[in-house]
């Protein structure tokens, strides 16, 4: 790996992940969509069907942060290491918004009914793919601490490559949801595809 940010010694590397002058500003930025949504829910500003509005918003924010997380490595190679330094927080933001998305789904679409959940999970491909994506994010979020990273050693990197599986699942999820205009779904599909392709040896060989 030629990545600049990974060369320093372990202790320095961890301290960099955690701090830096931009830690809190980036934390604020990742929390902002949540705060705005919360305010909109509490002040009843999401229109007559807040269920749909919230589903769309939480899903799209998870998707946006996924794009940002996958952008972190190429961006650091292009001389902009900020995202890479804070990729843990960005990854946790993906998990956070995806979890909210699932919570809203349980509350307004499933009504916390095991029977309906079972039906959704067996009959609807987009639900299966979406839930599968969230389940794959679980171990990534869980092992995101320094302690776990140290404990898993080289396996940690292998484990966290699961994000390359999550991305296509999410694309499939959004394409399957589109009713007649696939514009939004294609936009994110193209972004994620480009970011995954950049990581393939062929493309990277040429870039170097």
User: Of these, 26, 27, 52, 159, which contacts another protein (CB under 8 A)?
Assistant: 52
Interaction mask 123-162, another protein, x per CB under 8 A: xxxx------------------------------------
- Give the whole-angstrom CA distance, residue 11 versus residue 33: 32
Distance, in Å, from the CA atom of 160 to the CA atom of 172, rounded to the nearest integer, reads 20
Q: Which two tokens stand for residue 156?
A: 């940690």
Give the separation between CA 68 and CA 91, rounded to whole angstroms: 9
Residue 120 is a binding residue for another protein (CB under 8 A):
yes
Nearer to another protein, 1 or 42 (CB): 42
Q: Rounded to whole angstroms, how far apart are CA atoms 64 and 67?
A: 5
The span from the first CA to the last CA of the chain, in angstroms, equals 12
Applying CB under 8 A, among 8, 25, 111, 139 the residue interacting with another protein is: 111
Size of the site for another protein (CB under 8 A): 29
Per the structure block, which two tokens stand in for 130?
A: 């979406």
Instruction: Determine, following the binding rule CB under 8 A, whether residue 43 of this chain makes contact with another protein.
Output: no
Q: Which residue from 28, 36, 116, 135 is in contact with another protein, where contact means CB under 8 A?
A: 116
From 107, 151, 155, 165, residue interacting with another protein (rule: CB under 8 A): 107
Q: Cβ of 207: how many Cβ atoms within 10 Å? A: 10
| Residues 160-199, mask of contacts with another protein (x by CB under 8 A) | ----------------xx-xxxxx--x-------------
54 lies in the binding site for another protein (CB under 8 A): yes
Residue with token string 């799209």: 60
Mutual angle of helices 87-104 and 125-142, in 10-degree steps: 140
What does the binding site for another protein look like in residue numbers (CB under 8 A)? 41, 44, 46-52, 54, 104, 107-108, 111, 116, 119-120, 123-126, 176-177, 179-183, 186
């Amino acid at each position: 790996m030629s990545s600049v940010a990974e060369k320093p010694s372990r202790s320095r590397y961890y301290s960099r992940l955690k701090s830096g002058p931009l830690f809190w500003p980036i934390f604020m930025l990742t929390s902002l969509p949540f705060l705005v949504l919360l305010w909109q829910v509490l002040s009843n500003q999401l229109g007559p069907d807040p269920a749909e509005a919230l589903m769309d918003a939480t899903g799209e924010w998870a998707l946006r942060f996924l794009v940002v997380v996958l952008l972190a490595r190429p961006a650091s190679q292009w001389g902009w290491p900020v995202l890479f330094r804070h990729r843990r927080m960005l990854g946790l933001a993906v998990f956070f918004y995806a979890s909210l998305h699932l919570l809203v789904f349980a509350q307004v679409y499933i009504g916390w009914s095991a029977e309906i959940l079972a039906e959704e999970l067996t009959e609807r491909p987009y639900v299966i793919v979406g839930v599968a994506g969230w389940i794959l994010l679980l171990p990534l979020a869980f092992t995101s601490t320094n302690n776990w990273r140290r404990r898993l050693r080289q396996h940690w990197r292998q484990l966290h490559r699961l994000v390359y599986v999550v991305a296509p699942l999410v694309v499939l999820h959004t394409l399957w949801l589109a009713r007649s205009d696939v514009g939004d779904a294609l936009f994110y599909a193209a972004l994620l595809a480009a970011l995954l392709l950049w990581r393939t040896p062929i493309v990277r060989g040429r870039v170097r």
